[in-house]
Structure 1
Amino acid sequence: MSNQAILRIGREISQIQQGTDLSLAVACQEADIRNVKALIVGPPGSPYEFGFFDFSIKFTEEYPASPPHVHATTTNGGRCRFNPNIYASGKVCFTWRGESGEQWSSAQGLESILISIQSLMSCNPYENEPGFENAKSPSDVKYMKNYVAKIRHESLRISVIQRLESILGIQSDGTVLPQNNGSCYDDDEDDGLSLDDERPAFEPFNDLYKLRFLWYYESYMLSIQEAQAKAKVGQQFESMPFESPGNTMEGKFNYPELRRRMGIIKGAIMAETTNWAVEGLNAKNKEAGIAVNLQRQHEQVVEDLRLRKHFTIDLGLEEGNPFVWTLTYFGRPMTHLDGGVFNIRISLSPRFPDEQPRVFVQTPLFHNRISKEGILCYFPKKLEDMKAHVEAIIEALEEESPPYDPRTTVNPEASKLFWGSADDKKKYNRMLRRSVQRSTE
């Protein structure tokens, strides 16, 4: 592969990583830029909604003259066909391999590949199968409905629940195995590993899965609640006309079980977050580099707030732990948070910034960016800079007219009102003001 092609691949990866599309993520190892891991978050409103779908992408020597090889890896071990064009084997069928005018062009790239795959994850994926796009008969309508139903169930079960259970070490009985997240500091002790020992697999999105799970937990539960009323426990999935042995989606509906497993996952992530503080104190006592770094960053942010006379923020550390920041925010005059007092907890991992902070608004606040359990959805400009995190937290709280993006829907009830009718928006504002007033009681 030419240096020019390698540079192009690097640019395409960086463009996605630095972009604002919350539904796409890509990563590769520096020594192997031709092999890329990609994540597509299922589109809102589709049966794939907020599912985590992984793909491996291998760029050929002929790129960009010829397309890379794309393989779907979210297939339940090769047993689940998630779409007429995404096979259980991992094969992905693209439109550019069809008729004249639809072939691959060197003007296309990594992002266009992912967008093409994402377009397959539609509200009615049944129509992606050639010959079925104009299906209108009563039997076809029935197939469409049943196909959507089983995709929704398996998106939750396989792409979300199984994925998180594997990452968190959750067993079938609900117990959680201890996780080895790697050392957060170098203690110069012999760890007993040799160069011949197997290195951990490259899993760049594990932290993203956990954080997004917390964001979308209420949406997952609402989806389960709505679908549960339409599918009996133990009811078999219906086979589609285009499915064949070894390339199908088989199974049974069991939404109560999915609900149970979702709760266990959430509990495991919250327990992991709590344990960060314990790990952090250990790192601080050993004067580990990450502890020193976060302590210094905290001091710098506090000093910056003092110099700017930013009296709406009071920043501290919980029991002197640099891995638990406490932020008290005083609502600024003439804003929708005017007069409110809000306590916020910022939990940091000993593996920061590889694992991003989890931010909890502890004071109840009805807000489209805050889940019912206080989890804040925000976007720092610099992942490694805690000053950028604090600024992004305040920006998320104060933003009064954010652009509509259902992928930031962490409070479905609040979001529905916020982006609803004029009357809905008035109701949202009343509920927000009421929670602001209660914050000082």
Structure 2
Amino acid sequence: MRLQRPFNTVTPSASRPPNSGVLRIQHELNTLMRDPVPFIYVYADESNITKISALVIGPLETPYAGGFFRFDMRVGSEYPMKAPTVILQTTDGGRVRFNPNLYNDGKVCLSILGTWTGPAWSSAESLSSVLLSIQSLMCPQPYHNEPGYETRDDKPAKAAYNDYLRYETLRVAVVGTLKHTSHAKQFPDVCERLFLLWHDMYMATATDLMQRLEGKTYKDAFSSSKGTYNLRPIIDALKSLKKKIMERMECLEKPQEDSSSSSDNVKSSLIYAVDRLQDEHRILSRNPHPGGSASPRDPNSPFVWDATILGPNNTPWEGGFFALELRFSYQHPYRPPFAKFTSKMHHPNITRDGIPALDLIQTRWNPNTRVGTILDALQEMLKSPSSVYPVNVEVASQYRQNVRDYERKVRRLAADGC
């Protein structure tokens, strides 16, 4: 994950906004970093912040669920009086139209962008409002986004269109993005970590499509795209990608072979990471945190820690001790650690593999975050499950529909973990 400092003033040029426009962009980007919108990520070129990449994650309960959709945003010299231009890059080279409003040539049809009829852009709009509007296009029934189809109740056509979008989301926006890192080069950690969190969902969707549609033909309702459903390569790729990403996460302390950094830079990063982690251990030893305890497995190599999260009081988790492994990067603290429960867990926000869906250590990492803060946040997560990350679908369903059974199961785990 690339972490950015607050954006500093950039000297305007003829193609960039004047100082007032640059300051406006800086403010909006810093706001998006400080108060992030769920499942929307931005990255700006620090030498020219008018060039912005945005990653929009397909919302759950839609055919786009968990897809990685990258947009290039360019802010002109008349911003904020005129809208930015936005181009969708996730199109499989111009072959897939993901929505009546998201064309295969990358065009994004929104009235505030001046590419569709309706309420026009005003200076009160922002980069955030543009991205939220794009995210809203990825709705449960995008069939109705087509003009004249708003009230059309053709259930077979709507279902067929959603199946087509699920297939292309898996093929292009998930597998294609993870296989070709250049497709989301500004967001590699975000994509890989979210992929691990949503892997079970991807597999369930792919398996369902294969059982119903494998070998059958499809035709996009709003473009000339047509073909035959072929899920086996997608399922194989999902499994292979998970294995490769997990292997990388379990070796974060080792510089990647294809690293472009010089050996001196790598050595410097390693030295700084070791110093920081040793300092973390000293702080935790002197000032224990209520969330739990943690220490390096090997004092001579502080990149792998064993931690224990204490079950929070006055909850079904009370009295339990839950083992956790923390793996830190050689680039620590500028890359987030990888956390995985080794104790058996039963929680909506913890995958079946034990990976916690916690923004703090997944996609919203801050280099100032301390290990003690991570322990406290994980304890709080046990206490208060989030509806944003139902990564364990079965447990999330139980928590919503029969909380007593959920709590009974958790109490048994806590008793076993005493």
TM range (shorter): 0.7 to 0.9
Task: Tell me which moved more, 287-296 or 367-376.
Answer: 287-296
Residue 235 of structure 1 aligns with which residue?
216
What amino acid is aligned across from residue 337 of structure 1 in structure 2? Answer: W
Kindly report which structure 2 residues correspond to 1:247-266, keeping only aligned pairs within 5 A, or say none. 248-266=224-242
Give the superposition deviation at 1:18: 2.0
Separation in 2, partners of 1:269, 1:160: 14
Give the superposition deviation at 1:203: 2.2
Q: 1:90 to 1:328 in 2, by over 3 A?
A: same
Residue 294 of structure 1 aligns with which residue?
273
Kindly report which structure 2 residues correspond to 1:30-179, keeping only aligned pairs within 5 A, or say none. 30-96=46-112, 97=114, 102-136=119-153, 140-167=154-181
Q: 1:354 to 1:298 in 2, by over 3 A?
A: closer
Q: 1:377 to 1:126 in 2, by over 3 A?
A: same
What amino acid is aligned across from residue 239 of structure 2 in structure 1? Answer: G
Q: 1:285 to 1:413 in 2, by over 3 A?
A: farther
Give the superposition deviation at 1:202: 8.5
Secondary structure at the aligned position of 2:133 is classed as helix
Residue 244 of structure 2 aligns with which residue?
268
Give the superposition deviation at 1:401: 5.7
Q: 1:313 to 1:57 in 2, by over 3 A?
A: same
Give the superposition deviation at 1:294: 3.0
Residue 330 of structure 2 aligns with which residue?
350
Q: 1:20 to 1:57 in 2, by over 3 A?
A: closer
Contact kept, 8 Å, 1:345 with 1:362, in 2: the verdict is yes
Separation in 1, partners of 2:159, 2:294: 52
Give the superposition deviation at 1:352: 3.4
Contact kept, 8 Å, 2:109 with 2:116, in 1: the verdict is no
| Structure 2: tracts of 5 or more residues without a match | 1-16, 257-261
Separation in 2, partners of 1:126, 1:201: 26
Contact kept, 8 Å, 2:40 with 2:131, in 1: the verdict is yes
2:339 is equivalent to residue 359 of structure 1: yes
Separation in 2, partners of 1:6, 1:22: 25
2:387 is equivalent to residue 411 of structure 1: no
What amino acid is aligned across from residue 321 of structure 1 in structure 2? Answer: S
| Structure 1: tracts of 5 or more residues without a match | 168-199
Give the superposition deviation at 1:372: 0.5
Residue of structure 2 aligned with 1:433, choices 411, 415, 418: 411
Deviation digits for residues 269-295 of structure 1, max 9, x if unmatched? 011123324449xx9999933333333
Residue of structure 1 aligned with 2:358, choices 369, 374, 378: 378
TM-score, with length taken from structure 1: 0.82
Contact kept, 8 Å, 1:313 with 1:328, in 2: the verdict is yes
Deviation digits for residues 142-191 of structure 1, max 9, x if unmatched? 22111111000110111111111123xxxxxxxxxxxxxxxxxxxxxxxx
Separation in 2, partners of 1:4, 1:207: 33
Give the superposition deviation at 1:341: 2.2
RMSD: 2.7
Following TM superposition, the consecutive aligned residue runs of length 4 or more in structure 1 with deviations greater than 4 angstroms are 98-101, 283-287
Deviation digits for residues 217-276 of structure 1, max 9, x if unmatched? 112122223333321x22111241x42xxxx44332223332211010000001112332
TM-score, with length taken from structure 2: 0.86
